[in-house]
């Protein structure tokens, strides 16, 4: 019985050795491959016209600073090109860089599976605009600000590395025009789906 108890304690210690508690002051870095997509809906630019957005796979890098064991602030950076489609056809594409800042709550910082939720703001910078309507170039403001909601989870591989899955919902809007004629506000509420890997750094 004594030998069984000793062996059990050794096994438990080995299992716990691979799990390190998240702590205040930790820095969490994640690299993801993400896709941006929005369902068809009224975009505000062409009344009664359904519009959807799709993107190429987007490399995404984010850094989270843990202010406490459960609360962290994340800055996420990505770069992609989105294609705008409507019932009238393809309106072309535009480059987008949507850095996002969220305040997160991590539910189980001392477990192997660590889910989190977040909310904050996104700032989208548009570049290399190739949008057009019936051959006429559509101009847009180069920047837009919106809200961001987030849910995700980290699955620990060892005490430092982990797998990550992340979903964000963004609200993005920018003014559009053809020449000096205003077309109104171009609205998009895309989902961003990402998977990747990350590393935890202890700064204490």
Give the model confidence (pLDDT) of 68-114 as tens digits. 999 999 999 998 888 877 766 777 888 888 899 999 999 988 899 99
Q: Which pLDDT belongs to residue 149?
A: 97
pLDDT band at 15 (very low <50, low <70, confident <90, very high): very low
Q: Which pLDDT belongs to residue 177?
A: 77
Burial (CB count within 10 angstroms: exposed 0-12, middle 13-18, buried 19+), residue 180 = exposed
**For the domain with range 2-201, which CATH number is right: 3.40.50.720, 1.20.1630.10, 2.40.160.20, 3.30.450.260?**
2.40.160.20
User: If you average pLDDT over residues 51-71, what whole number do you get?
Assistant: 88
* Domain coordinates in residue numbering, the chain: 2-201
Q: pLDDT tens digits, residue range 145-171?
A: 899 999 999 999 998 999 999 999 998
Residue 157 sits at φ, ψ, to 5 deg, of -90, -45
Q: Which pLDDT belongs to residue 17?
A: 44
Q: Where are the beta strands (DSSP E) in 87-156?
A: 89-97, 100-106, 113-127, 132-133, 136-137, 139-140, 143-156
- Tell me the whole-structure pTM to 2 decimals: 0.78
């Amino acid at each position: 019985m004594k030998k069984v108890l000793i062996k059990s304690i050794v096994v438990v210690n080995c299992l716990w050795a691979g799990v390190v508690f998240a702590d205040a002051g930790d820095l969490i870095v994640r690299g993801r491959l993400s896709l941006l997509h929005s369902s068809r809906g009224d975009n505000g630019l062409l009344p009664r016209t359904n519009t959807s957005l799709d993107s190429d796979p987007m490399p995404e890098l984010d850094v989270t600073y843990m202010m406490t064991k459960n609360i962290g602030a994340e800055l996420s950076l990505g770069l992609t090109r989105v294609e705008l489609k409507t019932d009238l056809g393809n309106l072309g594409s535009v480059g987008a860089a949507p850095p996002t800042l969220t305040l997160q709550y991590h539910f189980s910082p001392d477990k192997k599976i660590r889910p989190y939720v977040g909310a904050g703001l996104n700032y989208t910078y548009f570049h290399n605009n190739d949008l057009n309507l019936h051959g006429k170039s559509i101009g847009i403001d180069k920047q837009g600000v919106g809200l961001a909601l987030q849910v995700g989870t980290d699955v620990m591989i060892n005490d430092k590395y982990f797998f990550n899955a992340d979903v964000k919902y963004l609200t993005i809007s920018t003014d559009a025009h053809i020449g000096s004629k205003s077309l109104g506000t171009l609205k998009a509420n895309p989902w961003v789906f990402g998977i990747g890997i990350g590393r935890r750094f202890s700064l204490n």
